[in-house]
Structure 1
Amino acid sequence: MLPAPGPTKSDIYAGSVQKQGDAFIVAVNDHVTRATAVLPTLGFSDGFTRAGVVGSDTIRPGDVLGISIWENVEEGILANAAAPATLDEVQVDGTGFIFVPYAGRIQASGNTPEAVRRIITQKLEQQTPDPQVMVSRIAGDGASVSVTGAVGGQGVFPIERPTRKLGAMLATAGGVSIPAETAVVKIIRGGKTGHIWYQDLFEYPELDIALRNGDRILVEEDTRAFTVMGATGSQTRVKFETQTLSAIEALAQVGGLVPTQADPTGIFVFRNEPAEIAANVLGRSDLIGAQRLVYVLDLTEPNGMFMARDFLIRDGDTVYVTEAPYVQWSKLITAITTTAGAASAVGSLATQAGIIEK
């Protein structure tokens, strides 16, 4: 057995279904490139995109409010005309309510201080003429989100008027610190999770969603990768550098084919293909479960370069380039001549030592 970086073209074809193997060997053509052009689906569900903008001053449970009440009478129920009644620290309870004397329990959580002021005023008007009420939030975290991962500055940021949407909040956190083409933005809201490409924030305005208190934003680099082996510039596992990657681009990322070794008619892409895609590629309806498919690219065909340019590489693919047939012959000849030379040298030494007569 001669040394080689992997199987030969004939070895791969020997493992095909047609020869009692378990893999379908498929030559890449226009139909195949269209059937396999499946991109990762990223996006936000309706629960994210339909959420309205949250006011930056929305009151939450645990917030502490300051309330001042003026009455237009000498002896009011809470104050007199000379000075207001001041409730310095009114904490919003766990259910979102506060208690104001003579106004009763009032829903504060989810409202703004202005909305609470109006509610208290309406309640007190029934008992004192023309009450004047002032409400302010004097303590409490307010609505906030956390931003982590590949951003300029990680941290917890308040939802304020300029940062009520995703894009503005990412800018506040210093923007992304990885290439924009492969940056993925992930939002966790309660039990729901949404992912988008960072670049899509600028191409699709509807993805610049309104934030909610407690949102967790994570920016991470695309984790997709493929493996390249055989007669290429390097044999390694390679991360995607763009959202889409063609076979030509994949080969270029590792230095292309080795001119003195590669067989341009034998470029193979090994993939476990989902049943629905495999059925479309093969024109069959009897397939169950993922199928092993080996796609073949021949760069020497008239449209071979176009096929390689249009065929998309996917996460987990293995790209293998076979050696040209003459490389094996060259190795064989080298092995024979090396062996013959070694045998001749041994014979000469034996003759010199008198072990073998001339």
Structure 2
Amino acid sequence: MGIGDVVLLATPQTGSTVEQLTGLLAASNSRQGYTVQDDGTISIPNVGRVQVSGMTLEEAEAELFQRLVENQIDPTFSLEIAEFNSKKVSIGGAVTQPTVAPITLTPLYLDEALSAAGGITVEDQDYASVRIYRDGTLYQVPLRDLYSNNGLRRIQLVDGDSVFVDTAYELDLAQAYFEQQIRISEFRQASRVAALNELNSEMSIRRNALGEARDNYMTRLELDSVDRDYVYLTGEVDSQARYPLPFGKTASLADALYSNGGVPTETGNVREIYVLRGSPDPREFGAVTAWQLDARDATNFMLATRFELRPNDVIFVAEQPVTRWGRVISQITPSLITSAASAATN
């Protein structure tokens, strides 16, 4: 199927119970024709646009069945092609009635196309020929050979073919006819190329604009000129730092701790991991809520993967008692050494 074809959709027609019992609706269907639009679709009420161009009738039925099921509509229907307008063959020259013959589900052969134009009207068959123009190539069949060779009469025509019957005295007319067909074909091709170039240019402009916007955003992000929310890590952590909350999703206590190297087990007290959160109410300035996590038990640490952080939270890890004592000793020892040295000098 192609653009311009008319498809006929038949669906069961509902009626009263009496009509159904008497069988009056047994062969009654609601039939509606739809023309394949320029975008290759047909527009069906309550279903929307369904792509059918380039499909066989069976493929279109399968696609329509799926769309009806998706929209919770009874998928009982039949589909057929009512008019063939997308594929055609033109017949001209020395024929009774120059015409355009559609190509339907049944193949179209040369003798049938000539019959559709009312037959050939030349008087002298020795000087007549049938010319077929297809995809930029011209094929010529002498008329006497056409009548004597059944295989030539059964040449199958395809979409876009042009058939012209002429005599030796009408070659100029045939040439003008085919030149016109060539110009039409070239014009359509040029239009397609121009449309494709325009589309590529527009896509390139949009792609460059998106790339430039992305680069500008990354530069602003590197220069810290983008408004972001942070969580602050302090105490016995690998390094005192601020953890940027990710865009568009939440972050947990575990995310912040392990992005900074985790808790140093030599100095950090895993029993005392605190999250401090100030009150959002300006009237409660200074009010702080604190949560403590005892991570000695691995099952307790699972809570860290579920605890959702908020902007300006403070994560504090206390020091181990031995660490505190060691630091006191390290501060006292230099003083003792200095005092002993001064006494020895005196």
User: By percentage of residues, which structure has more helix?
Assistant: 2
Q: Which bin holds the TM-score, normalised by the shorter protein?
A: 0.3 to 0.5
Q: TM-score, normalised by structure 2?
A: 0.36
Larger Rg: 1 or 2? 2
1 or 2 for the larger relative contact order (CA 8 Å, sep ≥6)?
Answer: 1
